[in-house]
Structure 1
Amino acid sequence: MALQDDDPHERQNETADLGQYLSDAYGPCLCEPTPSTTGCHHTNIFGPRSSPGRPRLKRGQENNVLIYSGCFNPPHLGHYSLLRRAFEGSQDLNVIAAVVYPYWTHDGGRLKFEDMWSRVLGAVKRDGFNLKFIEVAGPDHVVPTRVFQPFEWDFEIYRTILSNAGREFDLLQPGGQIERMRGYGYWEDAIDYTKAANPKNNYPDSEHEMVEDMERTIVSKPRFTLPSPPSTVGANAQPNEDTDNEPVAVTDALSETCISENDAGSYKKTEHGSNIIVPERRKIKVCRRIGDSETWVRFVPADATPLTFSSTRIRRILEGGFPKDGHLAGTSWTRSMLEDEALDSVKEMVLHPEVLARIMLQRHGIQRLDEA
């Protein structure tokens, strides 16, 4: 017996909670309950199950998840900016979530991580959903003398998003053009920027109605947002001298609607005929592997001057600011010593300065007065 279109059971089965699949695949938490708690929330991936905005799989479409792997030792604003730009530059790819994988902290190591995702893929496929992955990587992974290869996982990943938000991209020229990657074709616009300037009356009636339907779908789709890290609150913004006076515009390839950012940081929708021209250095580009068009690299340009620091540089600064023997000439450490010269020099680079300070103090065996 066929279900009616308005059957609630059918509607319910059209989507599924991605976090639940991950929790089931990861296995039960091994934390022992305490008198005050009967369990923990370590396997409540993407937050409490009752919270709104949890990523959901949807039938009849490709559901993409970003995977961002690295050492992140320590995590800093370059990592944050790269992931943010990857999300902002993949709105047309139906990216529903991102998973950050630090090489050195995952319980069970890489094998357990891959095994978990293999189980997730199997369960998702059995339930009729299409789940795929896109790798996020910094431009330092592109070596001009070698053919770029995505990170080799046990599950298939053949698409990559790069951005220079976290560091400079050696192949990016001053005018916004990008040199060819070895083994890949020429860079092309990832989306059709010209359609944003075409008036609606240029479309036949049937296409006009179709475009309006797509616009309603896109406008109702929630946009992913990353919360600002604590270290950026009150920090000085890094200006982009070449582009600060130009409108920030992103054209949605599906709705053919221009989404632009105003001075307050919010986004507004501009209808066709707006005549916004996107500068070359602001365009999202893509190049495809020669002989394998499904393998591609997408480049999302930074929306500000690329950051110039790295985890290695941060570690060196911190190591240079701490005594080797764990003593500071009889001075005890307090919370106010976060303003110490070493930490003060990196507090606008890292995501959580206080957490990093605590780790460094413990590592060097220095006791803080507020923890005595």
Structure 2
Amino acid sequence: MEVREIDLHVKRNFDRWHSFLIEHGISGFAPQETAAIDRTFIWNEAGQIIATGSIAGNILKYIAIDDAYQNGGAMFNQVVSKLMNEAAQLGRFHLFVFTKPKYIKSFSYVGFHLLAEVEDGAVLETGTPDINDYLDQLPKINDQHDKKIAAIVMNANPFTLGHRYLVEKASRENDSVYVFVVSQDVSLFKFDERFKLVKAGTEDLKNVIVVPGKEYMVSYATFPAYFLKDDQNVGRFQAKLDAELFKNKIAAPLNITRRYLGSEPYSKTTDVYNDELSKVLPPEVEVRIIERKKNVGGKIITATQVREAIQRDDLSMIKNFVPETTFDFIKENIGLLKDRF
């Protein structure tokens, strides 16, 4: 048996790999899925692929093994161990895998721990720092389990007066509010910039705690769904999985009993996400959907409009949509921001 790394940019390699995965029930090959792959390995026997697995960032994906070589799990263990060792050589010691529920036990045998499970899929992690380490380092308040704690998850690309309005409302209605800022850098504003703008824009609200979401908050860049059969269900699958993870692994230990969402008149993706959260989180976590704030001209405030105004150099329009702290940052860095488009 031969184990080797292949270059998926070589068409012949990609076609063989693609055909093997199709034969073994994996049919999702969206460009954003395959483009994220760093390394891919295949196991060959007599010139035929009998197993494969890939590393994408700190995610193991596209793992498949021919039925004839299952060997009671020995081949599966070999594939996953190989991927984990290769990831370690890349300095990646905290890993995730998204898989079908029927493979949860297999991954648990090689050291993965379940984070969330829904009908169509599950997400597991291994290594450190894990979710317990993440929770331990979050700021806490006195008598947290006797307080009314709320949460907001936001990308804040950038932080607008609409975001501020949502945080203010949650701040007034609860003893304390966690604002989780999505950590993945897939936005115009980098994570460090977004995090600083949220902190600066809420600094006067003393019961608001701004924290990074790390890998545990929704990010469509890191929630692969390549193993799903129906691409139309991908958005709902991602939202369900994210909601289950939040409810059981984040909200429960932090005593978060309320989650605030902004209404979404424009984005179907966000609307679906809000809908799924409203189904999954209650009764343990009450969902409050707040009507979006409008500016003095009666326009709903969105970060999309701010980003479009940056492209146009329209600082006067931006000023009506963002807090002063965000405006000052944009004004000082508008050239840099425009270069990122």
Report which structure shows greater RCO (CA 8 Å, sep ≥6): 1
The structure with the largest helix share of the pair is 2
State the TM bucket, normalised to the shorter chain.
0.3 to 0.5
Larger radius of gyration: 1
* TM-score when normalising by structure 1: 0.32
